[in-house]
Amino acid sequence: MPVYGGAPVLFPTVAFAVFFVVAFLVNWLLRPHHHVWLLAVAALSFAFYGYAPGSRRFVLLLLASALANWLFGEAIARALGPDRTRTPASIRLVRAAVVTNLAVLGYFKYYGWLADGLLPFIPYREIVLPVAISFFTFHALSYVIDIGRGVISPMRLDEFALYLSFFPHLVAGPIVRASEFQPQLREPADPRRIPFAEASRLIVAGLFKKVVVSSYLATEIVDPVFGAPAAHGPLELLVAVYAYAIQIYADFSGYTDIAIGCALLLGIRFPQNFDAPYRALSLQDFWRRWHMTLSRWLRDYLYIPLGGNRKGERRTYVNLGLTMVIGGLWHGAAWTFVIWGAIHGGFLAVERWVRERWRASYPDPVLPAAASGVLRWVLTFHVVCLAWIFFRADSFATASDVIAGIVAGSGPAPLVTTLVLVTIGLALLSQFVPAAAVETVQRGFARWGPAAQVAALVIALTTIDVLGPDGVAPFIYFQF
């Protein structure tokens, strides 16, 4: 496994609160002075990235990535034909940019894995993995590819440096396209029109999910069970799998909620990244709801270029499998991530095959809509949970022990407490809360006076602090 560099300032900490207050003031004081503002916020973002001693050496890597990809973008744009049409020169430059970015990512993220197992003739060395390298590499790739496709025009260097390093999305997304980010840099922003109620709701919800729900489930059942699965009975193992499904959702969606909320307070809107994924009735639906910006990235820059569904049924299944396996490898250099991706890719292909033949054989519904929906939900949720076992396990052997213990294990279940079950149950039920109800609460909060809003936020943050543990573990997706 790779050794990870130091993490930037964690969102749920006093250090980040102080940093954000400074960033907020700098952002709005300098916003009227466009070029100074770009440089100042970019400088703060680089400082955020290099906060931990282990990350400081990689600030130069982030700077180099920004400069190299900006230069590639400029060269690609100049090589395009009339009306931004592709030319042989522009295609070669795009390929060179893609290869360069993937080579850097591959060296840091996969060299040790290859040398330690797949290619033993390569001399092994311990590589320190820069935090966020996968995310800023995917941002850079989408930028140069979109220029090559004629979708966007090149940014100025100061704009691109801020786009690549902007601290709310730098570490763990969401993956923001340049076409989504660039126009907001050039629009005049008014601090009086900050969507404060929406930002507050996102930040508080994100903190609660991370600090309370994710931390509690990790400590109480997930970490103990996955740390020694052979020592636990089938009920504990099964509940731990369900708990991890909630933990990783609460952890990652909590991060992106906070990231989106912080960006809103700075006048930048990010795309939505989660939409109640555990209410999905199919794996295809799940990937429309889970890490939505990564799903769209894989679709637009991998699945469709591979041929998508345009080259026949068999090729479609192959493309689905390849896309998800590569998506698994993106998460980490380990066979467990490959298996996680293969499970999703395989079931997506099976799901598509069954759906097409079922509709041809049974054009009319066989079961009532409610019963069909429940069965589809149960199947989808358990396929996702099966894949999560490999995602969480530190080895194939650990994952095998978890599955074997669920199927044929025995023993008591002292870790399966009422509070654990209630936490999992309420988290699942929350996926079915109508979006309109959340909007209604948010609009009501927006109508309160400033004093009432501040008081409500103080109460909410105090409650989170009381319910949360001492100290905050890094977000799960920091390692990717």
DSSP assignment of 14-60, as one string? HHHHHHHHHHHHHHHHHTTSHHHHHHHHHHHHHHHHT-SGGGGGGHH
For each of the chain's 480 residues, which pLDDT tens digit applies? Answer: 555 555 666 777 888 899 999 999 999 999 999 999 999 999 999 999 888 666 778 899 999 999 999 999 999 999 999 988 999 999 999 999 999 999 999 988 888 777 776 666 677 677 788 888 899 999 999 999 999 999 999 999 999 999 999 999 988 879 999 999 999 998 888 888 889 999 999 999 999 999 999 999 999 999 999 999 999 999 999 999 999 999 999 999 999 999 999 999 999 999 999 999 999 999 999 999 999 999 999 999 999 999 988 888 889 999 999 999 999 998 888 899 999 999 999 999 999 988 888 777 777 776 788 888 999 999 999 999 999 999 999 999 999 999 999 998 788 889 999 999 999 999 999 999 999 999 999 999 999 988 999 999 999 999 998 988 877 666 776 666
Q: Check if 291 is active-site.
A: no
DSSP assignment of 244-273, as one string? HHHHHHHHHHHHHHHHHHHHHHTT--PPP-
Chain-centroid distance, C-alpha 36: 31
Catalytic residue from among 139, 169, 232, 331:
331
Chain-centroid distance, C-alpha 276: 14
Q: Report the C-alpha gap between 9 and 113 in whole angstroms.
A: 28
Question: How buried is residue 82: exposed, middle or buried, by Cβ count under 10 Å (0-12/13-18/19+)?
Answer: exposed
- β-strand partners of 3: 128
Closest of 205, 238, 173, 204 to residue 430, by C-alpha? 205
Q: Report the C-alpha gap between 385 and 371 in whole angstroms.
A: 21
User: What 3-state DSSP class applies to 365?
Assistant: coil
Residue pair 138/297 in contact by the 8 Å Cβ criterion: yes
Question: How buried is residue 207: exposed, middle or buried, by Cβ count under 10 Å (0-12/13-18/19+)?
Answer: buried
Question: How buried is residue 60: exposed, middle or buried, by Cβ count under 10 Å (0-12/13-18/19+)?
Answer: exposed
Residue pair 475/210 in contact by the 8 Å Cβ criterion: yes
Residue pair 113/105 in contact by the 8 Å Cβ criterion: no
Give me the sign of the Cα torsion angle 193, 198, 200, 203.
negative
According to DSSP H, which parts of 332-417 are helical?
335-361, 369-392, 396-408
pTM: 0.92
